[in-house]
Protein backbone atom coordinates (compact mmCIF):
# COMPACT_ATOMS: atom_id res chain seq x y z
CA UNK A 1 0.00 0.00 0.00
CA UNK A 2 1.33 3.45 -0.89
CA UNK A 3 1.47 6.20 1.68
CA UNK A 4 -0.35 9.51 0.94
CA UNK A 5 1.97 12.23 -0.35
CA UNK A 6 0.66 15.17 1.68
CA UNK A 7 2.74 14.29 4.74
CA UNK A 8 6.04 12.62 5.45
CA UNK A 9 5.33 9.10 6.76
CA UNK A 10 5.74 8.60 10.50
CA UNK A 11 6.82 4.99 10.01
CA UNK A 12 8.91 3.12 7.46
CA UNK A 13 7.07 3.21 4.15
CA UNK A 14 7.23 2.47 0.44
CA UNK A 15 5.51 5.06 -1.72
CA UNK A 16 5.25 6.61 -5.15
CA UNK A 17 6.04 10.30 -5.60
CA UNK A 18 5.23 12.36 -8.69
CA UNK A 19 8.40 12.96 -10.69
CA UNK A 20 9.29 14.81 -13.87
CA UNK A 21 8.97 11.62 -15.97
CA UNK A 22 6.15 10.00 -13.99
CA UNK A 23 6.05 8.25 -10.64
CA UNK A 24 9.20 7.69 -8.59
CA UNK A 25 9.49 4.64 -6.35
CA UNK A 26 10.67 5.69 -2.88
CA UNK A 27 11.50 3.98 0.42
CA UNK A 28 11.49 5.96 3.68
CA UNK A 29 13.15 4.47 6.76
CA UNK A 30 13.35 5.95 10.24
CA UNK A 31 16.01 5.67 12.96
CA UNK A 32 15.31 4.30 16.41
CA UNK A 33 13.27 6.96 18.27
CA UNK A 34 15.78 7.32 21.11
CA UNK A 35 18.53 8.46 18.72
CA UNK A 36 16.44 10.41 16.17
CA UNK A 37 17.82 13.68 14.85
CA UNK A 38 16.34 16.49 12.80
CA UNK A 39 17.78 15.43 9.49
CA UNK A 40 16.83 13.49 6.37
CA UNK A 41 19.41 11.88 4.10
CA UNK A 42 18.55 11.17 0.47
CA UNK A 43 20.76 8.39 -0.94
CA UNK A 44 21.28 7.96 -4.71
CA UNK A 45 21.99 4.62 -6.38
CA UNK A 46 24.56 3.59 -9.03
CA UNK A 47 24.17 3.42 -12.80
CA UNK A 48 20.73 2.27 -13.98
CA UNK A 49 22.10 0.55 -17.09
CA UNK A 50 24.53 -1.53 -15.04
CA UNK A 51 22.07 -2.96 -12.55
CA UNK A 52 22.03 -0.01 -10.17
CA UNK A 53 18.95 0.30 -7.94
CA UNK A 54 18.06 1.69 -4.53
CA UNK A 55 18.51 -1.87 -3.21
CA UNK A 56 22.23 -1.91 -4.04
CA UNK A 57 24.21 -3.15 -1.03
CA UNK A 58 26.44 -0.08 -0.81
CA UNK A 59 23.40 2.21 -0.97
CA UNK A 60 21.56 0.28 1.72
CA UNK A 61 24.67 0.19 3.94
CA UNK A 62 25.19 3.95 3.65
CA UNK A 63 21.52 4.48 4.52
CA UNK A 64 21.74 2.07 7.45
CA UNK A 65 24.85 3.84 8.77
CA UNK A 66 23.08 7.19 8.71
CA UNK A 67 19.99 5.81 10.44
CA UNK A 68 22.22 4.46 13.18
CA UNK A 69 23.38 8.04 13.67
CA UNK A 70 19.77 9.21 13.97
CA UNK A 71 18.88 10.42 10.49
CA UNK A 72 15.80 9.42 8.55
CA UNK A 73 16.78 8.02 5.15
CA UNK A 74 15.12 8.23 1.76
CA UNK A 75 16.15 5.91 -1.07
CA UNK A 76 14.56 6.04 -4.49
CA UNK A 77 14.85 4.50 -7.93
CA UNK A 78 15.85 6.77 -10.77
CA UNK A 79 13.59 6.93 -13.82
CA UNK A 80 13.25 3.63 -15.64
CA UNK A 81 14.38 1.55 -12.64
CA UNK A 82 12.02 -0.68 -10.68
CA UNK A 83 8.61 0.95 -10.47
CA UNK A 84 9.89 4.42 -11.42
CA UNK A 85 8.54 5.65 -14.75
CA UNK A 86 10.59 6.99 -17.63
CA UNK A 87 13.86 6.09 -19.30
CA UNK A 88 17.54 6.53 -18.51
CA UNK A 89 18.69 10.08 -19.33
CA UNK A 90 22.48 10.18 -18.87
CA UNK A 91 22.36 11.99 -15.56
CA UNK A 92 20.24 14.94 -16.67
CA UNK A 93 16.82 13.48 -15.95
CA UNK A 94 18.16 11.59 -12.95
CA UNK A 95 19.21 14.91 -11.42
CA UNK A 96 15.66 16.17 -11.92
CA UNK A 97 14.40 13.01 -10.20
CA UNK A 98 16.62 13.78 -7.21
CA UNK A 99 15.40 17.37 -7.10
CA UNK A 100 11.78 16.18 -7.09
CA UNK A 101 12.43 13.85 -4.15
CA UNK A 102 14.41 16.50 -2.26
CA UNK A 103 11.66 19.09 -2.85
CA UNK A 104 9.13 16.69 -1.32
CA UNK A 105 11.41 16.11 1.67
CA UNK A 106 11.87 19.85 2.14
CA UNK A 107 8.14 20.50 1.91
CA UNK A 108 7.09 17.73 4.29
CA UNK A 109 10.05 18.00 6.72
CA UNK A 110 10.77 21.75 6.55
CA UNK A 111 12.64 21.93 9.85
CA UNK A 112 15.09 19.14 9.07
CA UNK A 113 18.60 19.33 7.66
CA UNK A 114 18.95 17.84 4.18
CA UNK A 115 21.85 15.46 3.59
CA UNK A 116 22.75 13.95 0.23
CA UNK A 117 24.70 10.76 -0.40
CA UNK A 118 25.46 8.81 -3.53
CA UNK A 119 27.37 5.76 -4.67
CA UNK A 120 29.22 5.75 -8.01
CA UNK A 121 26.86 7.27 -10.64
CA UNK A 122 24.63 8.28 -7.73
CA UNK A 123 27.41 10.44 -6.30
CA UNK A 124 27.66 12.25 -9.64
CA UNK A 125 23.92 12.93 -9.65
CA UNK A 126 23.99 14.02 -6.00
CA UNK A 127 26.72 16.56 -6.73
CA UNK A 128 24.80 17.98 -9.69
CA UNK A 129 21.65 18.20 -7.58
CA UNK A 130 23.45 19.85 -4.67
CA UNK A 131 23.90 23.01 -6.76
CA UNK A 132 20.16 23.62 -6.38
CA UNK A 133 19.55 22.40 -2.82
CA UNK A 134 20.29 23.60 0.74
CA UNK A 135 22.49 20.60 1.51
CA UNK A 136 24.07 20.41 4.97
CA UNK A 137 26.25 17.32 4.40
CA UNK A 138 27.44 15.55 1.25
CA UNK A 139 28.73 11.98 1.06
CA UNK A 140 30.30 10.68 -2.16
CA UNK A 141 31.22 6.99 -2.32
CA UNK A 142 33.44 5.98 -5.26
CA UNK A 143 32.63 9.04 -7.41
CA UNK A 144 33.14 8.02 -11.06
CA UNK A 145 35.72 10.65 -11.95
CA UNK A 146 37.11 9.95 -15.41
CA UNK A 147 33.96 8.17 -16.48
CA UNK A 148 31.70 11.24 -16.23
CA UNK A 149 32.30 14.94 -16.75
CA UNK A 150 32.69 16.31 -13.25
CA UNK A 151 33.42 19.85 -14.46
CA UNK A 152 29.79 20.79 -13.73
CA UNK A 153 29.87 19.09 -10.34
CA UNK A 154 30.75 22.10 -8.22
CA UNK A 155 31.94 21.47 -4.67
CA UNK A 156 28.98 21.98 -2.33
CA UNK A 157 29.22 24.73 0.33
CA UNK A 158 28.86 22.24 3.17
CA UNK A 159 30.89 19.49 4.85
CA UNK A 160 31.72 16.84 2.26
CA UNK A 161 33.05 13.32 2.74
CA UNK A 162 34.53 11.30 -0.14
CA UNK A 163 35.18 7.57 0.32
CA UNK A 164 37.30 5.77 -2.27
CA UNK A 165 38.41 2.15 -2.35
CA UNK A 166 42.06 1.76 -3.26
CA UNK A 167 41.38 -1.45 -5.22
CA UNK A 168 38.45 -0.02 -7.19
CA UNK A 169 38.25 -1.86 -10.51
CA UNK A 170 35.61 0.47 -12.02
CA UNK A 171 36.73 3.95 -10.97
CA UNK A 172 40.43 4.80 -11.21
CA UNK A 173 41.42 5.81 -7.64
CA UNK A 174 44.20 8.12 -8.85
CA UNK A 175 41.69 10.06 -10.96
CA UNK A 176 39.63 10.66 -7.82
CA UNK A 177 42.67 11.70 -5.79
CA UNK A 178 43.90 14.08 -8.51
CA UNK A 179 40.42 15.59 -8.85
CA UNK A 180 40.29 16.29 -5.13
CA UNK A 181 43.85 17.60 -4.97
CA UNK A 182 43.03 20.20 -7.63
CA UNK A 183 40.17 21.66 -5.59
CA UNK A 184 40.54 24.96 -3.79
CA UNK A 185 38.44 23.70 -0.89
CA UNK A 186 38.76 19.90 -1.03
CA UNK A 187 36.47 17.47 0.78
CA UNK A 188 37.54 15.10 3.52
CA UNK A 189 38.92 12.02 1.74
CA UNK A 190 39.06 8.51 3.17
CA UNK A 191 41.08 6.00 1.16
CA UNK A 192 39.99 2.46 2.00
CA UNK A 193 42.75 -0.10 1.39
CA UNK A 194 41.83 -3.44 -0.16
CA UNK A 195 38.37 -2.14 -1.02
CA UNK A 196 36.85 -2.82 -4.45
CA UNK A 197 34.24 -0.69 -6.19
CA UNK A 198 31.42 -2.58 -4.51
CA UNK A 199 33.28 -2.93 -1.18
CA UNK A 200 33.07 -6.73 -1.19
CA UNK A 201 33.91 -8.05 2.29
CA UNK A 202 34.40 -4.45 3.46
CA UNK A 203 30.80 -3.44 4.11
CA UNK A 204 31.15 -3.18 7.88
CA UNK A 205 34.32 -1.14 7.42
CA UNK A 206 32.41 1.16 5.06
CA UNK A 207 29.76 1.54 7.75
CA UNK A 208 32.38 2.70 10.23
CA UNK A 209 33.98 5.11 7.77
CA UNK A 210 30.63 6.74 7.00
CA UNK A 211 29.69 7.11 10.66
CA UNK A 212 33.08 8.40 11.77
CA UNK A 213 33.28 10.77 8.82
CA UNK A 214 30.05 12.65 9.49
CA UNK A 215 29.50 12.26 13.23
CA UNK A 216 30.80 15.75 14.01
CA UNK A 217 28.22 17.34 11.70
CA UNK A 218 25.05 15.68 12.95
CA UNK A 219 21.91 17.83 13.20
CA UNK A 220 20.26 18.40 16.60
CA UNK A 221 18.43 15.61 18.35
CA UNK A 222 14.66 15.50 18.14
CA UNK A 223 13.28 17.13 21.28
* 7 domain residue, yes or no: no
* 5 domain residue, yes or no: no
* 29 domain residue, yes or no: yes
Confidence at residue 167, expressed as pLDDT on a 0 to 100 scale: 98
* 223 domain residue, yes or no: no
pLDDT greater at residue 147 or residue 117: 117
The share of the chain scoring above pLDDT 70, in percent, equals 98
Q: Which domain holds residue 52?
A: 13-216
Which CATH number is 42's domain given? 3.40.50.1820
pLDDT for 3 beyond 60: no
Per-residue confidence at 1, pLDDT binned at 50, 70, 90? Answer: very low
* 4 domain residue, yes or no: no
pLDDT for 104 beyond 80: yes
Which H, E and C letters describe the chain, residue by residue? CCCCCCCCCCCCEEEEEEECCEEEEEEEECCCHHHCECEEEEEECCCHHHCCCCCCHHHHHHHHHHHHCCCEEEEECCCCCCCCCCCCCCCHHHHHHHHHHHHHHHHHCCCCEEEEEEECHHHHHHHHHHCCCCEEEEEEECCCECCECHHHCCCCCCCEEEEEECCCCCCCHHHHHHHHHCCCCCCEEEEECCCCCCCCCCHHHHHHHHHHHHHHHCCCECC
Confidence at residue 152, expressed as pLDDT on a 0 to 100 scale: 74
Kindly report the pTM of this predicted structure. Answer: 0.96
The pLDDT tens digits of the residues spanning 131-156 come to 999 999 999 999 999 888 888 778 89
The pLDDT tens digits of the residues spanning 38-81 come to 999 999 999 999 999 999 999 999 999 999 999 999 999 999 99
Per-residue confidence at 6, pLDDT binned at 50, 70, 90? Answer: confident
* 118 domain residue, yes or no: yes
The pLDDT tens digits of the residues spanning 9-44 come to 999 999 999 999 999 999 999 999 999 999 999 999
* 6 domain residue, yes or no: no
pLDDT for 4 beyond 60: no
Confidence at residue 151, expressed as pLDDT on a 0 to 100 scale: 82
Number of folded domains that form the chain? 1
* 39 domain residue, yes or no: yes
The pLDDT tens digits of the residues spanning 165-195 come to 999 999 999 999 999 999 999 999 999 999 9
pLDDT for 2 beyond 50: no
Amino acid sequence: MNTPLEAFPDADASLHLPGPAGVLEVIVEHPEPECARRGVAVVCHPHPLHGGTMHNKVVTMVARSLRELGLTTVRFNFRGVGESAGEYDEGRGETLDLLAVAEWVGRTRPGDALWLAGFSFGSYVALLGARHLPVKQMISVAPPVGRWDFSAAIAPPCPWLVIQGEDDEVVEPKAVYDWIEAMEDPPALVRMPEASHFFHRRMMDLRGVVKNGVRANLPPAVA
